[in-house]
Amino acid sequence: MAKTRLLRHARATGLAASLLVGQSIVGLAAPGSVAGQDSPAQPCIDCHLRQDEPRLLEPAVTFLDDVHGSLGLGCLSCHGRLPGREIAMESGFLSKPSRREVAGLCGSCHSSSDVMSEYNPTLPRDQESEYWTSAHGRRLMENDDQGVATCTDCHAPHNIRSPSDPNSTVHPLNVADTCATCHGDRALMEPRNHSWNEADDFREGVHGVMLYEEGDVSAPTCNDCHGNHGAAPPGLSSIHAVCGQCHGRMDELFRENQHDRYFTEAGLGGCTACHGNHDIPSPTDELLAEAQQDVCRSCHTESDPVGSDFTLMARLLDSLITSTQSAEAALEQAESLGMEVSQAFFDLEEAQTALTLARASVHSFNAETVASDIEDGIQATDTAQSRALRAFGEHRTRRVGLAITAAIIALLVLGLLLRIRDLDRALPPDVGDHA
Amino acid sequence: MHRLRAAVGKVLDWFEDRTGFMGLVMPLARKKQVPVHKHSIWYYLGGMLVFLFMLQVATGILLLFYYRPSAEGAFESVQFLMAQVRFGWLIRSIHSWGANLMIFVVFLHMFSVLLLRAYRAPRELTWLSGVALFATCLGLGFTGYLLPWNELAYFATQVGTEIPGVVPVVGPVIRTMLRGGDEVTGATLTRFYALHVSVLPAIAFLLISFHVVMVQKHGMSVPPSVERQGSSRGSIPFFPNFLLRDFVGWLCAIMVLASMAAFFPAHLGEKADPFAPAPAGIKPEWYFMFMFQSLKYLPAEILGIEGELVGVLGFGLLGLVLLLVPFLDRPDDQGRHRKVWTWGVYGTLAFILFLTYLGYTEEVPSSQDEPPAEAVSAAPVSIDGRSAAFRALGLAIEEADS
Report strand pairing: B305-306 vs B33-35: unpaired
Could you report the per-residue pLDDT of A72-89, keeping only the tens digit for each?
888 878 887 444 444 554
**What does the radius of gyration of chain A's CA atoms come to, in whole angstroms?**
36
Of the residues A331, A341, A342, A422, the best mutation for testing chain B's interface (the one with the most B CB atoms within 10 Å of its CB) is: A342
pLDDT at residue B178 in the model: 94
Query: Which residue did the predictor score with more confidence, B145 or B366?
Result: B145
Task: Note whether residue B9 is domain-resident.
Answer: no
Contact A431 B245 (CB under 8 A): no
Contacts of B241 in chain A (CB under 8 A): 420, 423-424, 427
Residues of A within 8 A of B264 (CB-CB) are 338
The residue of chain A with its CA nearest to that of B234 is A431
Give me the residue from B83, B248, B251 closest to A343, CB to CB: B83
Q: Number of structural domains, chain A? A: 2
Q: Which of B24, B32, B29 is nearest to B219 (CA)?
A: B32
* CA A240 to centroid of chain Cα atoms: 17
What are B's interface residues with A at a Cβ cutoff of 8 A? 36-37, 40-41, 79, 82-83, 89-90, 233-236, 240-241, 244-245, 247-248, 251-252, 254-255, 258-259, 262-265, 267-268
Contact of B49 with B84, CB cutoff 8 Å: no
The residues near A184 (Cβ < 8 Å, ≥ 6 apart) are: A196, A197, A198, A199, A200
Residue B354 lies in a domain: no
Summarised one tens digit per residue, pLDDT across range A349-358 is 999 999 999 9
Q: Which of A132-146, A287-301, B149-163 has the lowest mean pLDDT?
A: A287-301
Do residue B233 and residue A409 have CB atoms under 8 angstroms apart? no
Question: Quick check: is A279 in a domain?
Answer: no
pLDDT interval class at B306 (50, 70, 90): confident
Shortest Cα–Cα distance, A432 to chain B (Å): 5
- Cβ–Cβ pairs < 8 A, chains A and B: 75
With a CB cutoff of 8 Å and minimum separation 6, the contacts of A180 are A198, A199, A200
Residue A380 maps to a domain:
yes
- In chain A, what residues touch B262 (CB-CB under 8 Å)? 398-399, 401-402
Q: What angle do CA A194, A197, A198 make, to 5 degrees?
A: 85
pLDDT in tens, A310-330: 888 989 999 999 999 999 999
CA separation (Å) from A101 to A76, A98, A136, A192, A228?
16, 5, 14, 23, 19
Using 50, 70 and 90 to split pLDDT, how confident is the model at A432? low
Write out chain A residues lying below 8 Å of B233, CB-based.
430-432, 434
What's the pLDDT tens digit per position in B165-195? 888 889 999 999 999 999 999 999 999 999 9
Strand B305-306 versus strand B301-302 pairing type: antiparallel
C-alpha closest to that of B115 among B249, B12, B223 = B223
Whether residues B79 and A338 touch (CB distance < 8 A) is answered with no
In a domain, B4, yes or no: no
- The CATH number of residue B216's host domain is 1.20.810.10
- Domain assignment of residue B27, yes or no: no
Per-residue pLDDT, B338: 87
Q: Distance, in angstroms, between A398 CA and closest chain B CA?
A: 6
> By percentage, how much of chain B surpasses pLDDT 90?
71
Q: Are B241 and A424 within 8 A, CB to CB?
A: yes
Q: State how far the Cα of A17 lies from the Cα of A10, in Å rounded to an integer.
A: 7
Residues of B in contact with A401 (CB under 8 A): 262
Q: Could B233 and A402 be called an inter-chain contact, meaning their C-beta atoms sit closer than 8 Å?
A: no
The Cα of B94 is separated from the nearest Cα of chain A by a number of Å equal to 13
Which of A331, A339, A340 has the highest number of chain B CBs within 10 A, making it the mutation to test binding with B?
Answer: A340
What CA–CA distance (Å, rounded) separates A43 from A100? 28
B89 closest CB neighbour out of A340, A402, A413: A340
Over residues A225-260, the pLDDT tens digits come to 999 999 988 888 889 999 999 999 999 999 998 888
Q: What is the pLDDT of residue A94?
A: 64
pLDDT tens across B322-355, in order? 999 999 998 888 778 888 999 999 999 999 999 9
Q: Which of B36, B235, B255 sits opposite A409 (nearest CB)?
A: B255
Mutation target among B41, B85, B235, B247 for the A interface, most CBs of A within 10 A:
B247
Task: Determine, for residues B252 and A413 on separate chains, whether the beta-carbon distance falls below 8 Å.
Answer: yes
Instruction: Report residue A40's pLDDT band, with 50, 70 and 90 as the boundaries.
Output: low
Q: Which domain holds residue B75?
A: 35-272
- Domain, as residue range, for A336: 306-395
Cβ–Cβ below 8 Å for A428 and B241: no
Instruction: Please check whether residue A19 lies inside any domain of the structure.
Output: yes
Q: For residue A433, which residues of chain B lie inside 8 Å, CB to CB?
A: 36
Number of domains observed in the structure of chain B: 1
Radius of gyration of chain B (CA): 24
- Report the 10 Å Cβ neighbour count for B204: 20
Nearest chain A Cα to B268, which residue?
A340
Give the containing element (helix H, strand E) for A416.
helix A367-425
Does residue A429 fall inside a structural domain? no
C-alpha separations of B261 from A186, B87, B100, B264 in Å: 70, 11, 12, 5
Mark yes or no for CB contact B244/A419 under 8 Å.
yes
In a mutational test of the A interface, the residue from B30, B33, B34, B36 whose CB has the highest number of chain A CBs within 10 Å is B36
Answer whether A74's CB lies under 8 Å from A34's CB: yes
Report yes or no on B349 lying in a domain: no
Give the end of a domain, one of A137, A160, A183: A160
Which residue type occupies B286? W
SS3 B273: coil
Position A22 confidence tier, pLDDT thresholds 50, 70, 90: very low
Residue where a domain terminates, one of A126, A160, A194: A160
Residue-level pLDDT at A36: 34
Domain boundary among the residues A160, A178, A195 is at A160
Which pLDDT band, with edges at 50, 70 and 90, does B282 fall under? confident
d(CA B100, CA B234): 35
Q: Has residue B347 been placed in a domain?
A: no
